[in-house]
Amino acid sequence: MSLWGVILLLLLLLLLHLQTSTCAAVNPCCYYPCQNSGVCVRFGTDRYECDCTRTGYYGENCTIPELWTRVHLLLKPSPDTLHYILTHFHWFWNIVNNSFLRSTLMKLVLTVRSSLVPSPPTFNSKYGYLNWEAYYNISYYTRILPPVPEDCPTPMGTKGKLVLPDAKLLAERFLLRRTFRPDPQGSSLMFAFFAQHFTHQFFKTYHGMGPAFTKALAHGVDAGNIYGDNLDRQLQLRLHEDGKLKYQLINGEVYLPTVSQAPVLMHYPKDLPDDRRLAIGHEVFGLLPGLTVYATLWLREHNRVCDILKEEHPTWGDEQLFQTARLIIIGEVIRIVIEEYVQQLSGYLLHLKFDPTLIFSEQFQYSNRIALEFNQLYHWHPLMPDSFLIDGDEIPYSQFLHNTSILMHYGLEKLIDAFSRQQAGQIGGGWNINQVVLNVAKQVILESRELRTQSFNEYRKKFNLKPYTSFDEFTGDKEMARGLEELYGDIDALEFYPGLMLEMPRPGGIFGESMVEMGAPFSLKGLMGNPICSPEYWKPSTFGGQVGFDIVNSASLERLVCLNTKWCPYVAFHVPRTEEEAKPRKPSTEL
């Protein structure tokens, strides 16, 4: 053999050795071998074991169902079948909603959904295994699935391409709105603004530390969007008299105070006049008039509740009046969220019910940690329209953003009526995010990659959903399927957030199966895990007696509005469904 032949042979042997070494060095957990929530534990360089404890499965990869698991799987309807039943057969649900069956089914909904969220929390973005720091350090968002191991061959583990597609390209090619597509469930802008106002009390990423961290240390419904997320901010917003919050009077009506009256940090353009710089619990809520509408409503409701409590308890001081009113407001928020907001979102014919006593006999932990996946999931910017229709005027984004004067110009009643009549956009299916907010979607994709979030299909499996086998099955749209396959190469490499936003919506639905099946457990666990829902708190004395308890138990969106406005506008999380609903409302505050 010639010298060059020997050299070539040596090179081939060296390459073969390197390839074998590389393959042997791949972390076996990168293949996600453990199914059904089994935990992959690596031993040495190329060996792993699956811990199947309490998964209901056994075997090398936790794939063999135990006897009761087999029975459960045999009897359990698919998510699509269950959704179909819950959204059809009006005659049946009319019977259920007017009988004891409503409470029975609501208890089942709460326990089954909540059980999908680990409690206590499991992972965070620093640790992909259980440890004390991940549990105890509440400055992190928790995680349902651990990060993709750093030593995996591809960003999603072992599937897909070595480099993920450009985030800007993804957003512009698949998320950017072509033509506004309204939500077929009829969700209104009043719903859209409530979603943003409500969730930003616990979605507060600490960007100074990184996307893995949160500033909302309460990790749940604490009304921090109304009162501020820290004590200093709260004290600046309080009137320190009769438990009330600061306010200003304009033409005899209560509005939010200005920053000069309540000096708290707010994010406004530098050239905005001082009288339009409103002081709000959340520092960015001056961005949209829809958010200032809700901030004004809750300000008025808090002060109204304080007047009622003071009349009931003339000996109480400012602090007790404030703290008790805050508990009542939190109770009102949770009731409105479950019985109206989640009701609209679900499309169910079962009337959802807020009754903490339903789960008092169950093993339930009254605590909550906000998960990174919940934060990623809730970026619902397709809800926003292309412009805003108020009292016969069409207002573009350029005149809408940071324009707090809109509230005083039209008045609270006209804004609420307008937002309740204008339809929001469909969230799922792609191609429905306005250019103005498209960059937010791009940032979510980039943050998800920085946090090494696992693939969309891995989350499907975690929430007991069948993983998709192709992009065609996933989208139902040939153009989108071909484009995604070109960029990702493998359906198992599709990222979590794009998967949620691009998944084919259910027939007549606001989004696809995954958003419902993944989002509902986070939402219901967070709401019912609130301390006011616990046996220790859920009693009249917590809320200042029966009068305060009655305020919580009778709360509704309509009452919130009509008890705090001059006249009752049309107000709902859905646009008018009938001609009767669409008619102008008579001036009245009687409910």
Q: Which residues are identified as catalytic?
A: 200, 378
Q: Find out whether 371 and 212 touch, Cβ atoms under 8 Å.
A: no
Nearest Cα neighbor of 344 from 498, 179, 557 is 557
Neighbours of 207 (CB within 10 A): 11
Nearest Cα neighbor of 305 from 587, 572, 564 is 564
Nearest Cα neighbor of 346 from 556, 575, 526, 517 is 517
Nearest Cα neighbor of 527 from 383, 345, 379, 380 is 345
Q: Find out whether 108 and 96 touch, Cβ atoms under 8 Å.
A: no
Q: Find out whether 458 and 468 touch, Cβ atoms under 8 Å.
A: no
Give backbone dihedrals phi and psi of 176, rounded to 5 degrees, phi first: -60, 135
Q: Which long-range contacts (CB under 8 A, 24 or more apart) does 42-45 make?
A: none
Sign of the Cα torsion 521, 522, 523, 529 reads positive
CA distance 465 to 461: 5
Paired strand residues for 47: 43
226: three-class secondary structure by DSSP: helix
Nearest Cα neighbor of 397 from 295, 272, 289 is 289
CA distance 425 to 381: 9
CB-side exposure of 507: number of CA atoms within 13 Å?
A: 6
Tell me the two tokens of residue 48: 């792993």
395: three-class secondary structure by DSSP: strand
In the 8-state DSSP scheme, what is residue 173? I
Q: Find out whether 258 and 279 touch, Cβ atoms under 8 Å.
A: yes
